[in-house]
Amino acid sequence: MYLLRLSPLHLLSFFALLLQAVLGADPLYHFCSNSKNYTSKSTYETNLNKVMKSLINTVPSKGFGVASAGKDPDEVYGLGLCRGDVSSTDCKSCLTDADPELRSRCPNDKEAIIWYDYCELKYSYDDFFGKIDTKYIFYMWNTQNVSDPATFNYKVKELLNQVATEAYQSKKFYATGELVIDSSEKLYGLAQCTRDLSSAYCKECLDNAISDLPNCCDGKRGGRVVGGSCNIRYELYSFVNS
């Protein structure tokens, strides 16, 4: 029989992991507009509460939704998106965490956006539905380099172009794919758009994201270009639920 010896440090990290599993994942990134504020207990706040409640209730079943509430100048527009493979239960818990997290990170801000692995949540005073978000974009990359960047970058682009084409032609604006790069390695890719866009705008958004790759991810083992309207990702390991 084996005895598992746990040091206080082990126990601590075990509880940290447990806590993370219970409390949910950390956000990837967020932006506050830092341009316009609402006051507490205002009509804008009431409308924002309505929009968030509606998104948390309606987005999980389809993985996407928009909502608006109120009238100009207090009208609030909101959008929620979950990664295409995420279950409605996980989608709901992601959005449920995202709402208070975003509000505490951007207190009283009239426009803000937050991303997690599983979901994205955005609201604004501005009617942004159907338009490509060029304001809020961030990048993530694996700090490790590949040995042959030129060939690798070419393969990444090949895979993501193929996945993007499938995504903007699909009903869910979501696609994943794989590309064997040699006998021991395989590339995995993902592309997704918010479904308020037209198919042409989804294509444009994904094309822009792919052409942005050299700015973040040149020769990197993994990378993401993540915006308010679309995102792409590639890794040398599988990262979606099948």
Ligand X SMILES: *[C@@H]1O[C@H](CO)[C@@H](O)[C@H](O)[C@H]1NC(C)=O
Per-residue HEC secondary structure of 3-15 comes to CCCCCHHHHHHHH
Helix axes 149-169, 199-212, angle to 10 degrees: 170
The CA distance from 179 to 216, in Å, is 21
Q: Cα(116)–Cα(97) distance, rounded to whole angstroms?
A: 10
Three-state DSSP string of 46-84: HHHHHHHHHHHHHHHHHCEEEEEECCCCCCEEEEEEECC
> Residues 92-121 vs ligand X: string with x where CB under 6 A?
---------------xx-------------
In this complex, which beta carbon is closest to ligand X, that of residue 146 or of residue 163?
Answer: 146
Using the rule CB under 6 A, give the single segment among 55-63, 137-145, 164-172, 174-182 that binds ligand X: 137-145
Binder among 37, 54, 153, 162 for ligand X (CB under 6 A): 37
Q: Counting contacts by CB under 6 A, is residue 161 touching ligand X?
A: no
CA distance 147 to 72: 55
Cβ proximity to ligand X, 220 vs 224, nearer residue: 220
> Footprint of ligand X on residues 138-157 (CB under 6 A)?
143-145
* Residue number with CB closer to ligand X (106 or 119): 106
Q: What is the DSSP string of 20-42?
A: HHHH-PPPSEEEE--S-B--TTS
Q: Which is nearer to ligand X, 35 or 183 (by Cβ)?
A: 35
**Minimum distance, C-beta of residue 33 to ligand X, in the bound complex (Å):** 9
Q: How far is the CB of 74 from ligand X (least distance, A)?
A: 17
Q: Which residues bind ligand X (CB under 6 A)?
A: 35, 37, 107-108, 143-145
